[in-house]
Each structure stands twice: as C-alpha cells, then as structure tokens.
Structure 1
Amino acid sequence: MYEKIMNFVRQKPEAYAPCTSKFWDDPHISKQMLKAHLEPEIDSASRKHSFIKKSAEWIAELKEPGESKLLDLGCGPGLYTDLFDASGFTVTGIDISQRSIEYAKSQAALKRKRIEYRCQNYLEIDYLEAFDVVTLIYCDYGVLCPADRERLLKKIMRALKPGGLFILDGFTEKFWQDVPVKQEISYHESGFWSPDAYVCLSRNAHYSETKNTLEQSIIITADECRCFNIWNQIFTKTSMNQELIGAGFDTITFFDDVCGKPLSEDSKTICAVAGKAQAFKR
C-alpha cells in the first residue's frame, strides 16, 4: 500500500486521469452525495434550490413546454426534472447514480408524475430526433475529457429534433480562484469518503496548458487506498463556441448562467443555448 500512496503523491496526474474507484455508486459516498443534493441552501452536489427554481423557469421560457419533450442529462435526484414536468414538458432524466435515480423515481411515484428515469451513462444514449430540449447543467460538460465531450455532442445533436435546443454551462477563468493550488492532510473518524476512520490527502492543481483544474482526494483507510479525481475544464466564449459549432449547432447564444443573466466578463460560469436548425443527416 505504501508504494501505491507514493505513486499517487509523487506527481500530478495527466489531465482527466480517472478515479481508481467508483464514485457515484459507492454505497457510502453515493449516500453522502444524495444528502448534499437535497441541501436547499448550499451550492454543493446541486446548486441552491432557489437558483434551480429560477433556472427551470428561464429554460421553460426558451422553449414553449406545450408538447415539448425534454431530456435532462445528469439529472441526479430529479430536482430539475420535477420542475420541468411542472412547467409542462414531457421529461426524461438520465443519471449514472443508481441511488439518485431510485430517489427520483420514488418522488415521481409519490407525486404521481410521469417522468421517465433511466440509470445510465449519458455517453451511451442513442436517440434519434426524440427531444425538443436537452439540458446538461451545473458544469457537468467540463467534467468530461475533450474526446468524450465531442462524442456526447454528436449524440445530443442526433437526439434533438430540428429546431431543438441544447442548454449547458461551464466554468470560466474566474472559477480558478475557487480551486486554489494547495496540498493538505486531514484525519477523520468517519466522514464523506468513508464510514470508517480515514486519512485524506487533498490536492488542488491548475493545468495552465489545457485549462483544467483538479480537485484530488487520496483516501487512506486501514484496509485500502483510493484516489478520487474531480476535473473541470475552463471555458471561454470562444472555446465553448468552437466545440458547439464543430458538432454542428447553428445558432448559439451565451449568458452568464443558466438563469439567463446577460453575458459579462465577471461570472464564474458561462451558459450556452445552442440550436439545431437542420435534421440529423443519416
């Protein structure tokens, strides 16, 4: 185990190096994540619930819900999908976390809502002109490496109907200050990462050449050592526009956030509303 720890700490990993263990479906961590999602006043696993409500209302204004079908990628426990359904969209939510999807399904059943939920990696979706709106919210897009972003955009283009909208957001350079370069060590009798006692070696790093941030947690218990890497891509209007245009989107409008705040140079996020004008070319 000592050699394993040494290998983790010795040098910065390459950009988008994966975690060594499951994150979303770890029995303990996924329970902590769900708890964080449901905290209404904290920007954590989800944004503050007041922001989510405002965001869902703005998105409903972009596309008349009516008979519109909406696909929410990375839907988590259904905080957005519940509001989209209430606005009149026919909603499908996809998330890789079994615990979050089970919670979302239970809430939909309790409220007698006809929201379709699927536990799936959204990189594996395979729809053809099925949705009027696709959302990927809370900067999930930048968690993906460039190759996976390209792959996902192609699938989203294929999934959208002509005239459909793709709504996403990402972090800007203003976000860098929220991930200060540091290395810390802490001991916990139990906590977010494990129900048992553990040591956490945490490290934040900036990757100037690729415009990435890394939040790394190396978790050492009496029995094992695991490494969790949380990556984010830093976007500019130009870089996000290039990726969307490259995937075939025609009309792209930018905002500061997914509540429709006008674009400025002061926001830690950037939101794009990308339109698909043409039918998917088979």
Structure 2
Amino acid sequence: MNVMQLIKRVETPEPWSEGEKIPWNDPGFSERMLEHHLTQEHDLASRKFEIIDRHVDWIHNKLEGKPSRILDLACGPGLYSSRLTRLGHSCRGIDFGPASIRYAREQALKEGLEVDYVLEDIRTADYEDEYDLVLFIYGEFNVFKPADIRRVLRKAYDSLREGGVFIAEPNRYETVKREGTAPAVWYSSQGGLFSPKPHLCLMENFWDQERDVATTRYFIVDAETSNVTLHASSMVAYTRENLEQILRGVGFKDIVFHESLSGGEKDLDENLEVIEARK
C-alpha cells in the first residue's frame, strides 16, 4: 500500500473487512508484543505482577484451594497459568502468539513446572475436557465475530466437567463504544510495536451503531520508504443482558457479574468486567 492508496481508502470500513485483529501471530510482532506483556511500566498487554498475584489468589479461593484442572484461553506468556500451577493446579494454556508460547514454555522448564502450553488459535484448537475451570480474561472476549465467540464458548462449555466454572473478562459496553467513537490520532516512533523501524502510526476509529461494533484502523507508514501497512481490529460491545443471553444460549447457568478478578472494588479496571458461570 502507498500513500495515495491511503488517501483513497474506503471512508468507513465494514467491521472485520480489513482484518480481524492486530497480527498477534506474526513472529516479529509477537516478539515485540512479548516485551509489553512482561514490562512492569504499564498494563497495556498484561497486568503488573502484583495485580496478577491478587487475581490468582481470588481464583485459587474460588476453587476452594483444591488442586484443579484449568484451561487458560488466550494465555499469553503464561502469567496466570504459571502461578496457578505453583499452587498445585494442572494447567493448559492456549495462545497463537509464538513468542508468548515460547517464553511460557521456557519459564515452565526453568522452574520445573508441568504446564501444557499450546500454540494454536482458540477457535480451532482441541481443548480436551474435564476441566474444573476455564479462564478467558483481559478483554479477548470482544475481539471475535459473534459466530466465532459462540463457537469458543460452546467449546469451553463442552470442555468443563459438570459443575465446572467459567470465568471471562470482557470489555464493558461503554469501553468499546468509547473506542469506536474516539477521534483519529497519530504518533511517530523510532521503533515500536507495529514496526522495529522508524515509522508513523495513523489510527482512526469507527462505531457501527446497528451492530454495536468498534473498528480501529492502524496505518503504519515506513519513514524511509513511505510504504504503508494496514492493520485493522474490530470489537463487539456487549451489554450485561447480551452477555447473559449468549452464555445461557450455550448452556451456562448460575451467571454472576463481578467488578474485578479480585472479586470486588479492589483492582477495579473501569474498562473490564468479570463474568462467572457454571456448567
């Protein structure tokens, strides 16, 4: 793509028409994203370790401290799975970021932890079964097309034992709408998440009111060549009523909403909410 094609771009893209999400599975992008997962300077990709520790304590207490079989969907570099394994649980993490899975495996080997990390898309991966808990956290719920999220939820439901717990952490409706209605912005970088070379990042957002979908375009302009790379990501905004309806539709019951993965106001993230449901 060149600058003229950028200027002549489609004014308002259809959700998912220019890409489903930013390129998590690209090796170079994944390596750069891993740095964001592990940094303790911000919470953009993963939370700071002290917050994760409190979340893991809450999850461990949900399981009454009993050794349990846990599936961690979109597990990233294993920051939750590794901690839960240290507490005596048996964990399987699935993610399609190659650098994250490599790091998670290396850390497990270094610490002598038996964690099954799988490099796979959660839409197509084999989940196995008889889990006591399935985790699906940090906003990943919203990035899938409606048909895909139902497929993921059905697979999660089927993978649980009777009475097993499902914990998800979607973005709040207002969070997604706010992103979709935000003004266009740009920044320059000597090298960052989208490119290791000097570049401009031009971002524009769109809100589809009929479908409750926010779409963000990222135009990455190479400073040396002026070549333009387009990435796009769409997110569905769900009300609590929508979420409950979808979960019940695949069979979940006893649905409860929490303010955070600490169970209450502590560690509250105004962008996210927590759903707990049972099979």
Amino acid at match of 2:232: N
- Give how far 1:178 is off: 5.8
RMSD value, Cα: 2.4
Superposed displacement of residue 72, structure 1: 0.3
SS at the partner of 1:122?
Answer: coil
Equivalent residue, structure 2, for 1:83:
83
TM-score, length basis structure 2: 0.89
Q: Name 2:52's counterpart in structure 1.
A: 52
- Supply the distance in 2 between the matched residues of 1:23 and 1:113 (Cα, whole angstroms): 29
Question: Which has the higher mean CA deviation after the structures are superposed, 10-19 or 28-37?
Answer: 10-19
Deviations 1:238-257 (A, max 9, x none): 11101100011122111112
Distance in 1, matches of 2:127 and 2:79, equals: 23
Task: Report the Cα offset of residue 55 of structure 1.
Answer: 1.2
Residues 1:255 and 2:255 are matched in the alignment: no
Q: Which moved more, 1:107-116 or 1:124-133?
A: 124-133
- Which position in structure 2 is the counterpart of 1:272? 275
Counterpart in the other structure of 1:227: 230
Query: Contact 2:72 / 2:92 at 8 angstroms: preserved in 1?
Result: yes
* Partners of 2:179 and 2:205 within 8 A in 1: no
- TM-superposition CA deviations, 1:30-57 (whole Å, max 9, x none): 1221000001241111122222111111
Decide whether the 8 Å contact of 2:153 with 2:250 is kept in 1. Answer: yes
Does structure 2 retain, via aligned residues, the 8 Å contact 1:157–1:247? Answer: yes
Name stretches of at least 5 consecutive residues in structure 1 with no aligned partner: 277-282
Contact 2:73–2:93 (8 Å) recurs in 1: yes
Counterpart CA distance in 1 for 2:29 and 2:128 is 34
- The CA distance in 1 between the partners of 2:137 and 2:251, in whole Å, is 20
Runs of 4+ off more than 3 Å = 1-4, 176-180, 185-189
Q: Aligned equivalents of 1:87 and 1:236: distance in 2?
A: 34
SS of 2:76's partner is coil
Partner SS for 1:56:
helix
**Number of aligned residue pairs:** 273
Q: Which runs of 5+ in 2 are unaligned?
A: none
Instruction: Give the whole-Å Cα distance in 2 for the aligned partners of 1:231 and 1:49.
Output: 28
**2:129 corresponds to:** 129
* Residue deviations 1:49-100 (CA, integer Å, cap 9, x gap): 2221111111111123533100001111111111111222101111101110
**What is the Cα deviation at residue 20 of structure 1?**
8.4
User: Would you say the 8 A contact 1:30–1:99 is kept in 2?
Assistant: yes
Contact 2:21 2:234 in 1 (8 A): no
Q: Which residue of 1 aligns with 2:107?
A: 107
Cα distance, 1:267 vs structure 2? 4.0
Q: How many Å separate the matches in 2 of 1:234 and 1:49?
A: 28
Give the distance between the partners of 1:18 and 1:69, measured in 2 at CA: 38
Distance 1:250 1:66, change over 3 A: same
* Cα displacement (A) at 1:188: 3.2
Structure 1, 181-190 or 100-109: larger mean CA deviation:
181-190
User: Would you say the 8 A contact 2:22–2:232 is kept in 1?
Assistant: no
